[in-house]
């Protein structure tokens, strides 16, 4: 059986949570490998809605181990709050089903504050961060001054590390005319939260190695989407980590050969939250209708998502960059009843036809979509669990998407319910 990496093939919000939860029935371990609590997964199980931000989706299933890998930046206060919220909903969260990498970087209150201060100061130049401190925490990680989970086990050595961190941050705050961070107060905050998060600490790379050799099936869960990748996304309107499939190895401490299949998630249309280019965005009644039918509001931020037609150019590009073997297509039912559906098959820029999104920010903002018009369907796809249950024209739409993105659709989601899923090929199969 192959291990599986699940990544978003658009700008996030593709429905990864439901797909990962559905696949976790076949997995033994679910690993988060990048991002932080800026991610948002909504799961609907037996009529109960669970909203996850930092926790691996597998925690909602009994007998599954969830791992927060070293590639994730962890806000310990957010983690504790999320655990408490899930426990209040009747779930059991303990060391039996949750481990956190001892070398994971921590998000501190000063990171959240800096994130928000910068966005406010940027004005029209803001990039649409969630303000949760993700970017500043990754900056400190790369700058080799971050506080990691393991550091909370020894407060004698933590003091000098905080001093090094505050030399940097207090210099920034002076320049921004903001109050300086008090080391003693920060130490007290960390001392209070440490006993609540340290029980989950583990050398997760070693744990994963042992479990893999024992034949356990591992599901690697990405956050955000490939188009928000720090290298391969629509820079600078991206997140602060690598979101493509290759990060699953680095962000969990497992060798790349241990990764089997890569499953990309894409909506049957396109959405984006926050600022940045969006070639197929619809600023009309059709865009509003898609948003209403799809309930397009962010799980974490509550922000209204921008909506547009399916962009085959972008998904094809992410298929190649992320090495995607198959696509899970979600929210097909949102397109039920449209007389016409458009598909972006290329771009036009300064009179030239393009088959990829250019890397330049200015060029990305100016590309014009080239559309194919596709006949819609009047029947309902919602809740379908077999291909035979789909309207013929809906099947043709899916098949045409496969041709355009040069990748098979191996799984089809037809509602938020986990069982409303059509499986053409099991990603865990060799």
Token pair for 359:
């890397």
- C-alpha 319/C-alpha 232 separation (Å) is 12
Contact 357, 278 (CB under 8 A): no
Beta bridge partners of 342: 373
Q: Output the CA–CA distances (angstroms, integers) from residue 315 to 22, 81, 178, 231, 321, in the order listed.
A: 22, 35, 42, 16, 10
Q: Which of 41, 111, 169, 232 is catalytic?
A: 41
* DSSP 8-class letter at 245: T
Token pair for 243:
């979101």
Upstream peptide bond of 236 is cis (omega within 30 degrees of 0): yes
- C-alpha 388/C-alpha 411 separation (Å) is 14
Contact 243, 225 (CB under 8 A): yes
Whether 13 is a known active-site residue: answer yes
- Is residue 6 helix, strand or coil? strand
Whether 232 is a known active-site residue: answer no
Find where tokens 């439901």 sit: 18
Each residue's pLDDT, cut to its tens digit, for the chain (430 residues) gives 589 999 999 999 898 878 888 888 889 999 999 999 987 777 777 778 888 899 998 888 889 999 999 999 999 999 999 999 999 999 999 999 999 999 999 999 999 999 888 877 766 656 666 778 999 999 999 999 999 999 999 999 999 999 999 999 999 999 989 999 999 999 999 999 999 999 999 999 999 999 999 999 999 999 889 999 999 999 999 999 999 999 999 999 999 989 889 999 999 999 998 889 999 999 999 999 999 999 898 666 677 899 999 999 999 999 999 999 999 999 999 999 999 999 999 999 999 999 999 999 999 999 999 999 999 999 999 999 999 999 999 999 999 999 999 999 999 999 888 788 999 888 888 6
DSSP assignment of 74-88: E-HHHHHHHHHHHHH
- C-alpha 83/C-alpha 79 separation (Å) is 6
**What is the pLDDT, as a whole number, of residue 128?**
60
Token pair for 7:
């990544």
- Is residue 406 helix, strand or coil? coil
């Amino acid at each position: 059986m192959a291990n599986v990496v699940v990544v978003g093939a658009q700008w996030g919000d593709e429905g990864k949570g439901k797909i990962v939860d559905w696949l976790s029935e076949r997995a033994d371990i679910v690993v988060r490998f990048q991002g932080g609590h800026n991610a948002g997964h909504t799961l609907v199980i037996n009529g109960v809605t669970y909203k996850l931000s930092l926790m691996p989706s597998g925690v909602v299933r009994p007998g599954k181990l969830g791992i927060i890998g070293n590639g994730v930046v962890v806000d310990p206060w957010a983690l504790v709050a999320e655990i408490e919220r899930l426990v209040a909903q009747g779930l059991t969260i303990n060391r039996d089903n949750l481990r956190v990498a001892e070398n994971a970087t921590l998000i501190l209150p000063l990171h959240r504050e800096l994130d928000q201060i910068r966005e406010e100061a940027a004005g029209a130049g803001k990039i649409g961060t969630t303000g949760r401190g993700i970017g500043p925490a990754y900056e400190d990680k790369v700058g080799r001054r971050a506080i990691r989970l393991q550091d909370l086990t020894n407060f004698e050595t933590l003091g000098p590390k905080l001093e090094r961190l505050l030399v940097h941050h207090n210099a920034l705050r002076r320049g921004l005319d903001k109050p300086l961070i008090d080391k003693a107060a920060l130490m007290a905050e960390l001392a209070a939260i440490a006993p609540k998060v340290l029980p989950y600490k583990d050398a997760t790379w070693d744990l994963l190695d042992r479990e893999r050799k024992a034949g356990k099936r591992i599901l690697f869960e990405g956050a955000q989407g490939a188009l928000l990748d720090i290298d391969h996304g629509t820079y600078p309107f991206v997140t602060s980590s690598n979101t493509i499939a290759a990060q699953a190895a680095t962000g969990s401490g497992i060798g790349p050969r241990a990764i089997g299949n890569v499953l990309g998630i894409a909506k049957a249309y396109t959405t984006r939250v926050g600022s940045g280019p969006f070639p197929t965005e619809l600023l009309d009644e059709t865009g509003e209708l898609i948003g209403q039918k799809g309930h397009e509001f962010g799980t974490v931020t509550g922000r209204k998502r921008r909506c547009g037609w399916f962009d085959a150019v972008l998904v094809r590009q992410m298929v190649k960059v992320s090495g995607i073997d198959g696509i899970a297509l979600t929210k097909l039912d949102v397109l039920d009843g449209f007389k016409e559906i458009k598909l972006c098959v290329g771009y036009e820029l300064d009179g030239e036809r393009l088959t990829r999104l250019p890397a330049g920010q200015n060029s990305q903002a100016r590309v014009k979509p080239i559309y194919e018009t596709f006949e819609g369907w009047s029947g309902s796809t919602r809740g379908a669990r077999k291909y035979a249950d789909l309207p013929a024209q809906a099947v043709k739409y899916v098949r045409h998407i496969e041709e355009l993105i040069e990748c098979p659709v191996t799984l089809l989601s037809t509602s938020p319910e986990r069982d409303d899923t059509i499986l053409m090929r099991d990603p865990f199969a060799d």
